[in-house]
Amino acid sequence: MPFTVEQFFEVFQRYNVAVWPAQVVAVVDAFIAVGAALRGGRRANRLAAVVLAALWLWMGAVYHLQFFRQINPGATIFGVAFLIQAAMFIWFGVVRDRLTFDPRLDPAGVLGSALMLYALAVYPMLGSAFGHSYPASPTFGLPCPTTIFTLGLMLWVRPRLPVALLAVPMTWAVIGTIAAVQLGVAEDFGLAASALLSLPLLLRHERQLEPRPA
């Protein structure tokens, strides 16, 4: 790893101080996306997709390319991948109208709600309990908690989620979990759990829609 634990948390501190109050805006945007998903309808679905795109655009362009790249050259690749993810949310959710949010009291819907609750409320509380105090802490709008939130909201998509939208979040779940183990960011262990629990449910939508043999 090309940086130390101290350098890693210093990036969070510089980021949080520099962008304030963007962290609050990110949380508000998350609630807007959840509200739109609960409301349903074409405009609301598009709004939720736009919010997801904005969050991933922010993480790619601001965090990875402007802050994280200062200590990790690999952040350039991460930044580009996150920008592609943002573009895919616009493509599938706005241009193609292929993201229909329909939360239900089924395993996917319940897990999705739990993951979003974790990302917005449990994650910062755990961070504080583990000694990661603001501003030297990962806030919402940064990759790990926002990826967990994204997976949660995608579990509300019916009847199917375009599989292409899973590539970057699932890849980041692996990268983020490895980094969490090495850097001691225990709240990020939820990233691995969210990926492992959500992937089978997201892929099950695809299997259920495959045509049955005659």
| pLDDT tens per residue, range 3-37 | 899 999 999 999 999 999 999 999 999 999 999 99
| pLDDT tens per residue, range 135-151 | 999 999 999 999 999 99
Rounded to the nearest angstrom, the gap between the alpha carbon of residue 92 and the centroid of all alpha carbons in its chain is 17
Q: pTM for the whole thing?
A: 0.94
3-state SS, residue 160: coil
Residues 6+ apart with CB under 8 A from 146: 26, 55, 56, 59, 119, 140
Q: 199 burial class (0-12, 13-18, 19+ CB within 10 angstroms)?
A: middle
| pLDDT tens per residue, range 80-97 | 999 999 999 999 999 999
Q: Is the peptide bond before 103 cis (omega within 30 degrees of 0)?
A: no
Cα dist. 157→28, 68, 110, 152, 170 in Å?
21, 31, 12, 10, 17
Residues 6+ apart with CB under 8 A from 91: none
For the chain, what are the domain ranges? 5-205
